Structure 1
Amino acid sequence: MVPNYTFHRRKILIMFVTCLAGFGILMGRLGYLMLFQSAHYTALAQELHERERSIKAARGRIYDANGTIIADNKTVCTVSVIHNQITDAEEVIAVLSEKLEVSADTVREKVEKYSSREIIKSNVDKSIGDAVRACDLDGVKVDEDYKRYYPFGSLASKVLGFTGGDNQGIIGLEVMYEDYLKGENGTILTQTDARGVEIDTAAENRIEPVDGCSLYLSLDVNIQKYAEQAALKVMEQKNAKKVSMIIMNPQNGEIMAMVNVPEFDLNDPFTLNYQMDASATDEEYQDLLNKMWRNSCINDTYEPGSTFKIITAAAGLEEGVVSLTDNFYCPGYKVVEDRRIHCHKVAGHGAENFLQGAMNSCNPVFIEVGLRLGVTNTYKYFNQFGLLGRTGIDLPGEAGTIMHKQDNMGEVELATVSFGQSFQITPMQLITTASSIINGGTRITPHFGVEVQNSEGTVIEKLSYDTTEHIVSEETSETMRYILEQVVAEGTGHRAYLEGYRIGGKTATSEKLPRSENKYISSFIGFAPADNPQVIALITIDEPEGIYYGGTIAAPVVADVFDNILPYLGIEREAVTEEETAEN
């Protein structure tokens, strides 16, 4: 018996030691969790019993140069239900279905769903949200929210851009300055039971949202309106595909207006501004929307034609390969290697000096200047002028210049490039480079943004932009201003003449590819006053019908816009003598 008794005592001892060790381990683990992991598990418990609803921050407003609000916020509501707080489901279904114009079956499905919160409808007009709130229905939540609102509808639509359902910028300045405009959302914290259903609405905790900052622009609503009206008028008169216009201060790059007609309604950006084929697929519909939202001034390239002669002339003068009095002869064409390249005047201009060649927009004259420069110097000035990069404008999606590689450019390519063909450029790059040539030689960065203010009206950042000085000499810049003033006074741009103002400019008529279709882009670039430019404008008219010459249909549009905006900008007319009036 004794051995058996000893055996059992040993088993009991082993079991006791094992249990004691296990208990010690459990106590040690419990102590570790309580002493060293308490904060972690407290947070998990808090998260388990809390639910949060977002309070959207008010997006920062956008103001024009005069302090006019051009992008604002409209208060809307989100209506939702909490299942376990509803005391009369049938009443809730009936009221929400009627006031929100949602089917009773849809409302019933969400009311009867046992969940923490079900959204019935978002972006509800505030008056309707207030009406729902006034019904004082148990279990129904009405939270105020913000929706972007554009007071001027379609004005500058492809510049401003718009926001999506989450109030984030999608295109234009709205997306470019998203970090400033968006603000920080707040939250409403509520207690829930183990199943995640809100149980104590009186214990709500709020973290208030921080409103976004306001953005102030150089864009001027009044100038934008003048430009849009003028562009729309010529588009309708010439039955053109589209018309674009940029108006800018050439001294600092501040853009006063950017027009792309037809524009679209910013408050309804997903509705096409023309009739769509009913058989179009979703993919085709999205492509049409992208096309409607596209900003031709920066996203599209084109052959600039004779407006590019500004760059060729400036490079030739700066390099010293041509002067105003150099003599040329135009028989109506120029032979380069094995190619006969025609002038726009088939009969030719005959004998002319360089100034007269510029006033006549004579292709052979500029071909000769390009050949005198040569490929190496041409590319040197293209780089010096900043022509081969992007402008750096504060809008997304800017396209770059499409140019021949230097190694692939022969004399024929050089000849065609010299008068604006066989390569492509954006309107924004062209007007920026021209501005930099006529402003004394400072390469500027075109932009809309001027400053950012917080919700209290304090300036938190003055926006600044890069400049590059001495891309041409002051002497070359002065000569270019003189040449371009003569183009308007007596040359191809004479329809841009305004009595009492010194206007400079250059016309262009470029043939689109493929050439066999005989479709054109008519354009004109003009600036004033010619001796000290304060405003520059570029208009492009895509596929006009009938007469399509830039000097005939594009130059008068810029003259009309200048006639309206120059006095508005404080640029006064000069006294005109009877002799000057008779000459023009």
Structure 2
Amino acid sequence: MSKFDNSKIMPRYSVIAIIMSIIAVAVIGKTIYTMTAGRAYWLEVAASQKKDSVTVKPTRGNILSCNGQLMASSLPEFKVYMDFNALKEAGNDTAFIDSINYISKGLNNIFPEKSAAYFKQHLMEGYHKGSKHWAIWNDRIDYNTFKEIQSLPIFHLSKYKSGFHWDEFNARRRPFGSLAQRTIGDMFGAKDTARCGLELSYDSILRGTNGIIHRRKVRNKFLDITDTPPIDGADIVTTIDVSMQDLAERALLDELKDPNVNGNVGVAIVMEVATGDVKAIVNLDKCSDGEYREVKNHAVSDLLEPGSVFKTASIMTALDDGVVDTMYTVQTSSGVWNMYGRDMKDHNWTRGGYGTLTLPWTLKYSSNIGVSRIIDIHYHNNPEKFVQGIYDLGLAADLRIPIVGYSPAKIRMPRKNSRGQYVNWSATALPWMSIGYETQIPPISTLAFYNAIANGGKMMRPRFVKQIIKNGKVIYNNPPQVIKERIAKESTIKEITRILTEVVSEGLGKKAGSDKFLVAGKTGTAQMSKGALGYKSGGTNYLLSFAGFFPADKPRYSCIVCIQKTGLPASGGGMSGVVFHHIAEGIMAQSLKLNVTDARDSSSNTIPSAKTGNLLATDYVLNALGFNITNGWNGAYPFGNPVWGRTLEKGKSITFQKEQVPKANIVPDVHGMGARDAVYLMEKHGIKVILIGRGRVIQQSVAPGEKIKKGMKCELRFG
């Protein structure tokens, strides 16, 4: 017989099976409901519990000067918010209400432009709305301000307890303000994207690589789990020298603001001759409020007719081709010469012109007629040869400047049709091209040409970035690059250097020169075309230039200064040349190093002179300086009772001559003493002293040897 009573057990199993079936049906029904009708709700819940593929921005790399000074750096900025729902869930809403006056007063201290009452009303508005992302302050704030806000009541708690949270941004800051602003570059602040300059050109290197994280909510807290870590951007080391940049900017700004100049645009570039490193680059525009700011990088983007600074290239082409030499003479008449139906004029045509000039003097006087006639005489029937000579000098070379907006020079090459007729050329094109018209050359290209002359004929590519650094290690070196090993014959380079030096010492470029070192260069004063309106529509605009290098005998730096202005007076040498002068002298003064031996000559005395007075103190000082006294004490008794006397110099030796101090009732002789010893000795004898001047005693109002009277005063005059 079975131990189990089926009549009792089976009903129980049946009940259990029915219950389990009902539960299974309920689970399946709930699953179907969740997947259909409740799908939207649960997706929203899931989204609040986790976030996938959240982008993490890296730290942008720094831009450094040539000696490692920060010129652009990323600093954190914040926007701060309140989540009042989190505040209430944490049970701190009562504490918030109790502290609202303290919080409002604290925010008023941090942001005084808004009152405490405003902050109280603003925060309470967000509180009553139950906002999860209520902006405490609408603008971005720096790190220090952020920490001040975070230290306020309630806000100092964790964001899960206080609801205080923030968004962090990488803000770009330039420690030197607007210095080289258009070259270093700008950022679109709201988008954190590069706008111009090196910031834009090297954006991919500076920006780094974004990272990816996902967030999961565990016990009411978000945990960040890194999938791909962000890679911070690398630093770039520029060639800019901050001190030279500041010097060039101040020199140019002072000239632009001069009432006689009142410039519209100013450009100054300083380049290191041997390397092509751009040490300073200034671009200043006159804005509507009358102030000068960096708005556009004119130095690399302005395609303008260069004017007379181009004449150097014209004369070099003729010299290099051997069609002329430095003894060649040209007739300029009375300062007006008809060139194929069009009058060419020299700047002094109203004063009778220059007459006959030798080739060097055509540059020294910047004679339009002289230069254009030399070129026209020898190249009129073959203008292609002249333009090819200009190309060979490197003026039309694409310098590949790493700044967005750079435009290479445009120099027209003559072309003929199938019938041998020029299709883009006229009889007057060559004469006017030779003096700087009919071409479009940015200042950086003109400077690269003059830098090549200074560099013995070797043309260097202007360099803006030297290195790329990551975590203190150099990951890329950008060495100096040679564009052309030689732009002209060695003899041509030497001849043109001598002529350019004489332009400054004897010609129109005197104001660019210095009495401390040789300067070589060329002035330029050109009328600026107004496009279809020509040159003479309305007020005449001028481009005033000076390009050159220094010291001319051992060139270290080249420089170009360009000023655009409206109306007269207008003088490349007298205006741009002045700026060049200040830049050159400032740079040379910064690098000046003197050796003490340079200050010695045959008449110099290297033994220090000592004042009459306490010989013990004198002995101590002279011994400390390394001088031995034949009858001294080797500096052993600086604080003993005074021994009075004077020093005697015999050749290279020093001896002491002791003197007796007069009796207590006799006025002492303090001539030659310093103030300390003279006052001590006089007051020891009971005489009150009045001091006038500084140095040694040269006069005492009471004669030495007189008897001392009660209350006697003595006036000591020093010199």
Q: Fold conserved (TM > 0.5)?
A: yes
2:553 is aligned, of 494, 511, 531, to: 531
Counterparts of 1:195-210 in structure 2, within 5 Å, are: 200-201=220-221, 203-206=223-226, 208-210=229-231
Matched with 2:61 is 60
1:321 to partner: Cα distance? 1.5
Q: What's the offset of the Cα at 1:226?
A: 1.0
In structure 2, distance between residues paired with 1:364 and 1:453: 53
In the aligned structure 2, how far is the partner of 1:161 from the partner of 1:89? 47
Q: Which residue in the other structure is 2:542 paired with?
A: 520
Q: For residue 190 of structure 1, what is the amino acid of its counterpart? A: R
Partner of 1:354: 359
Which stretch has the larger CA shift, 360-369 or 84-93?
A: 84-93
Residue of structure 1 equivalent to 2:282: 259
1:416 corresponds to which residue?
A: 432
Partner of residue 124, structure 1: 141
Q: Which residue of 2 aligns with 1:170?
A: 195
- Conserved in 2, the CA contact under 8 Å of 1:524 and 1:554? yes
Structure with higher RCO (Cα < 8 A, 6+ apart): 1
Could you report, residue by residue, the CA deviation over 1:143-195 in whole angstroms, capped at 9, with x for unpaired residues?
Answer: 54421111111111111111123333211111111122112344553225xxx
Deviation at 1:535, TM superposition (A): 0.6
Q: Which digits, 9 at most, give the CA deviation of each residue in 1:271-320, with x for residues without a partner?
A: xx6449xxxxxxxxxxx99x962111112222211100111111111111
1:336 pairs with one of 320, 334, 339: 339
Task: Say whether the 8 Å CA contact 2:450–2:558 is kept in structure 1.
Answer: no
Letter in 1 for 2:354: H
Counterpart residue number, 1:279: none
Q: What's the counterpart of residue 30 of structure 1? A: none
| Aligned 8 A contact 2:270 2:560 in 1 | yes
Over the residues paired in the alignment, what is the CA RMSD in angstroms?
A: 3.4
The equivalent residue for 2:78 is: 77
Equivalent residue number for residue 315 of structure 1: 317
Contact between 1:57 and 1:211, CA under 8 Å: does it hold in 2? Answer: yes
Counterparts of 1:19-168 in structure 2, within 5 Å, are 49-51=50-52, 53-80=54-81, 85-87=86-88, 91=96, 99=107, 104=122, 108=126, 112=130, 123-134=140-151, 135=155, 136=157, 137-165=161-189, 166-168=191-193
Cα 1:426–1:241 change in 2 (3 A) is: same
Contact 1:239 1:545 in 2 (8 A): no
- The answer to whether residue 384 in structure 2 is matched with residue 384 in structure 1 is no
The amino acid across from 2:473 in the alignment is T
- Give the match's secondary structure for 2:440: coil
Q: Mapping of 1:364-379 within 5 angstroms?
A: 364-371=369-376, 372-373=378-379, 374-379=382-387
| CA distance in 2 between partners of 1:521 and 1:335 (Å) | 24
User: Which residue type is aligned with residue 431 of structure 1?
Assistant: L
- When structure 1 is superposed on structure 2, of 415-424 and 544-553 the one drifting more is 544-553
How far the C-alpha of 1:435 sits from its partner, in A, is 1.7
Post-superposition offset of 1:70: 1.5
The alpha carbon displacement at 1:539 in A equals: 0.7
Question: Could you tell me whether the CA contact under 8 Å between 2:511 and 2:581 is conserved in 1?
Answer: yes
8 Å CA contact retained: 2:331, 2:356: yes
Q: What is the deviation of 1:98?
A: 8.4
Aligned-pair distance for 1:132?
4.3
When residues 507 and 303 of structure 1 are mapped into structure 2, their CA distance, relative to the original with a 3 A threshold, is same
Deviation of 1:234 (Å): 0.6
Q: Which moved more, 1:556-565 or 1:436-445?
A: 436-445
Report deviation, 1:60. 1.4
1:543 maps to 565
Q: Give CA-to-partner distance per residue, 1:306-348, whole Å, 9 cap, x none.
A: 1001111111111112211111111113332222212222122
> Residues 417 and 199 of structure 1: is their aligned pair in 2 closer, same or farther, counting only changes over 3 Å?
farther
Is contact 2:56-2:230 (8 Å) kept?
yes
- 2:194 alignment partner, SS class: coil
1:560 aligns with 2:562: no
Give unpaired runs (5+ residues) of structure 1: 1-44, 193-197, 264-272, 277-287, 576-584
| Alpha-carbon contact 2:330-2:374 (below 8 Å) kept | no
CA 1:106–1:360 in structure 2 vs 1: closer, same or farther (change >3 Å)? farther
2:403 to 395, 398, 419: 395
Q: Which amino acid aligns with 2:514?
A: L
Q: Are residues 1:345 and 2:348 paired?
A: yes
Work out the CA distance in 2 between the residues paired with 1:292 and 1:64.
Answer: 18
Q: Which structure 2 residues correspond to residues 470-481 of structure 1 after superposition, within 5 A? A: 470-481=486-497
Q: Secondary structure at the match of 2:394?
A: coil
Normalising by the residue count of structure 2, what TM-score does the alignment of the two structures yield? 0.64
**Match for residue 216 of structure 1?**
237
Aligned partner of 1:442 in structure 2 is 458
Shift of 1:142: 3.0
Which amino acid counterpart does residue 399 of structure 2 have in structure 1?
Answer: T
Give the distance between the partners of 1:110 and 1:256, measured in 2 at CA.
Answer: 59
Change beyond 3 A, Cα 1:409–1:205: same
The structural deviation recorded for 1:81 is 5.5
Using the alignment, how far apart are the partners of 1:539 and 1:108 within structure 2? Answer: 58
Rounded to whole Å, the distance in 2 between the matches of 1:109 and 1:401 is 63
> Would you say the 8 A contact 2:256–2:263 is kept in 1?
yes
| Change over 3 Å in CA distance of 1:96–1:384 after alignment to 2 | farther
1:229 maps to 250
CA distance in 1: counterparts of 2:128 and 2:346, whole angstroms = 73
Q: Distance in 1 between matches of 2:181 and 2:77?
A: 22
The 3-state SS of whatever aligns with 1:557 is helix
Shift in Å at residue 248 of structure 1? 0.7
Instruction: Report the Cα distance in structure 2 between the residues aligned to 1:435 and 1:72, rounded to whole angstroms.
Output: 32
**Separation (CA, whole Å) in 1 of partners of 2:249 and 2:186:** 19
Which 5+ residue runs of structure 2 have no aligned equivalent?
A: 1-45, 416-423, 599-719
Is it true that 1:183 corresponds to 2:200 in the alignment?
A: no
For 1:387, the aligned partner's letter is: L
Cα distance in 2, alignment partners of residues 537 and 49 from structure 1? 60
Q: Judging changes above 3 Å, is the alpha-carbon distance between structure 1 residues 255 and 327 closer, same or farther for their aligned structure 2 residues?
A: same
Q: Does 1:485 align with 2:501?
A: yes
Aligned length: 501
Taking the aligned partners of 1:531 and 1:131, their CA distance within structure 2 comes to: 59
* 8 Å CA contact 2:270, 2:558 repeated in 1: yes
CA offsets 1:106-131 (integer angstroms, 9 cap, x no match): 983997467xx787756322234324
Per the alignment, in what secondary structure is the counterpart of residue 252 of structure 2?
helix
Which structure dedicates a bigger proportion of its chain to helix?
Answer: 1
Q: 1:457 corresponds to which residue?
A: 472
Give percent identity, aligned residues only. Answer: 24
- C-alpha contact 2:308 2:366 (8 A) present in aligned 1: yes
> How far 1:83 moved relative to its partner?
7.6
Give 1:235 shift. 0.6
Q: Taking structure 1 as reference, are residues 391 and 107 closer, same or farther at Cα in structure 2, changes over 3 Å only?
A: farther
Output the amino acid matched with 2:436.
G
Counterpart CA distance in 2 for 1:532 and 1:433 is: 17
The alpha-carbon distance between structure 1 residues 203 and 557, as it changes in their structure 2 partners (threshold 3 A), is: closer
